Structure 1
Amino acid sequence: MLEELLTAAVATGAAGATYLVAAARVVKQYERGVVLRLGRLRPRVRGPGFTMIVPFVDRLHKVNLQIVTMPVPAQEGITRDNVTVRVDAVVYFKVVDATAAVVNVEDYRFAVSQMAQTSLRSIIGKSDLDDLLSNREKLNQGLELMIDSPAVGWGVQIDRVEIKDVSLPDTMKRSMARQAEADRERRARIINADAELQASRKLAEAAQQMADTPSALQLRLLQTIVAVAAEKNSTLVLPFPVELLRFLERAQGTPPEPVVETLGEILREAGNRAPGS
């Protein structure tokens, strides 16, 4: 009799251990457990930690609540200004309602991926090339809204959408390079013209100032001679203005005519002595 009781106790313990092993489940901190009992949804979502289910009756679906980084395959399309481009993006999303993610959609990851691809192609067709290249922040916001609207019913929240790269045809790249070069040349010409305008105004002011003060013109001529002579040239040809002689005449009090005649004779004599004259 004792042996039968001992055998029954051992069998009961083994059955209890088997039941405990089959019923025991562990839900991680970043997961939530959704239980279906005979195909019907149980109202309580199992939180992180140890939990029990009814073996062969309940099915526990674990849903990851971490942020998922999903790359969107490159989509080829034609922009609003008739340019063929290839655009790829990346979507960041997470599950906020584990029950809806299990019940309302078969595979929420695949659904988000397909919605992201179709939304990206729609954004390409509605945008200009300049917007894709320089106004990505606004396009990212519009793409996020397009994906997030249907994803709310799936228990998924779109955290962020980023356009990664825009690939252009080689012919378009060359055209854009020529356009940028022409624009830079245009700006360079405008800057040079503006500099010439400012320089002419300053030269006009300087000429007016020298006209009021003739000695300033002579000093400027001497400075020019010094600047040219610093280049170590072997021959220096410079016109000698009569106004300088008059300035010297006024400074020394001698008549200018003899000085002019003497200078002319010196120049004629130097021309006669030059070889081949």
Structure 2
Amino acid sequence: MMLSYLVPVVVVIMLIAASFRILPEYRRGVVFFLGRFQAVKGPGIAIVIPLIQSMQKVDLRVITMDVPEQDVISRDNVTVKVNAVLYFRVVDPEKAIIQVENYVMATSQLAQTTLRSVLGKHDLDEMLTERDKLNDDIQEIIDIQTEAWGIKVANVEIKHVDLDESMIRAIARQAEAERERRAKVIHAEGELQASRKLVDAANVMQENSAALQLRYLQTMSDMSNKNASTIVFPLPLDIMDVFKQMKAQGTGSSAGSKTSPKATPDE
């Protein structure tokens, strides 16, 4: 008789013990009553009646997902391999369990397709220089589509953009040509600035003849400081004016002799 009463008591005690579930702070339990959604419980102790109720646990912490390497053809027909990392978390456990079968797998597949479609609309230069903008675009698209699943995408970061060896060499040649172009432009700008300074210096020397004399003496001083075997005798610039006047007088006398009238036979 005691055994017949003891068995049901033990079964009831086991059912009661199995009904208690403990949920930590970072988890929630989605409870179903005879297959229908009943409530979201947690954290703490949750009572789930076996065979009548069932509960699926959902982690609310941020999930770090590595997006596998994807082959992407850019807008300028360059094939690259790109991988990224995705940060997301569940904000609505009810939708994450009811609206999608496996929210982690669904988010991963969506991230891969979005990564290919977004990067395919940009050039290679934009992929390399505007990563922040591309990250924001990818994050916004994924976040909008996963909102119905109760998932919030916190951030998307593109990690690597791998190129073929031929493309790396082409980019290196392009960079070298760009540096040569900049060097030529800088050299031309320097020549332009130097020519303007020379014009200013010439105008100053034209206004004051003493400036030309000082520049002449400075040049002589610079030549004397170098280890050279050339002997230089300074010549005053005023002597050149004397030679110019003598040349002008000689030219005038020769011109006058040529234009003098010839004597006639009558004279």
User: Which TM-score applies when normalising by structure 1?
Assistant: 0.78
Amino acid at match of 1:236: T
Classify the secondary structure of the residue corresponding to 1:106. coil
C-alpha contact (below 8 Å) 2:32/2:54 kept by paired residues: yes
Q: What is the CA–CA distance in structure 1 between the aligned matches of 2:20 and 2:79, rounded to whole Å?
A: 56
Q: Equivalent of 1:223, from 218, 237, 261?
A: 218
Aligned pair count? 243
Q: Equivalent of 1:78, from 73, 86, 91?
A: 73
C-alpha contact (below 8 Å) 1:218/1:244 kept by paired residues: no
Q: What is the CA–CA distance in structure 2 between the aligned matches of 1:138 and 1:206, rounded to whole Å?
A: 51
User: Unmatched 5+ residue regions in structure 1?
Assistant: 250-256, 258-277
Amino acid at match of 2:145: P
> Is 1:117–2:105 an aligned residue pair?
no
> Is 1:21–2:17 an aligned residue pair?
yes
- For residue 31 of structure 1, report the CA deviation from its aligned partner: 0.9
Q: CA RMSD in A?
A: 2.6
Spell out, residue by residue over 1:110-167, the C-alpha distance to the aligned partner (whole angstroms, 9 max, x if none).
0000111111111122221122112222222221233223312222121222212211
Classify the secondary structure of the residue corresponding to 2:120. helix
- For residue 172 of structure 1, report the CA deviation from its aligned partner: 1.6
Spell out, residue by residue over 1:216-255, the C-alpha distance to the aligned partner (whole angstroms, 9 max, x if none).
2222122122222223x141254754516569x9xxxxxx
Amino acid at match of 2:115: L
Residues 237 and 87 of structure 1: is their aligned pair in 2 closer, same or farther, counting only changes over 3 Å?
farther
Amino acid at match of 1:65: L
- For residue 16 of structure 1, report the CA deviation from its aligned partner: 4.6
> Is 1:193–2:193 an aligned residue pair?
no
> Is 1:32–2:10 an aligned residue pair?
no
User: Identity of aligned pairs, percent?
Assistant: 44
Classify the secondary structure of the residue corresponding to 2:40. coil
Q: What is the CA–CA distance in structure 2 between the aligned matches of 1:175 and 1:128, rounded to whole Å?
A: 15
Q: Equivalent of 2:170, from 152, 169, 175?
A: 175
C-alpha contact (below 8 Å) 1:104/1:154 kept by paired residues: yes
User: Which TM-score applies when normalising by structure 2?
Assistant: 0.81
Q: Equivalent of 1:243, from 233, 237, 240?
A: 237
Moved more, 167-176 or 69-78: 167-176
Structure 2 match to 1:264 = none
Which runs of 4 or more aligned residues in structure 1 lie more than 3 Å from their structure 2 counterparts after TM superposition? 7-17, 237-242, 244-247
Structure 2 match to 1:48 = 43
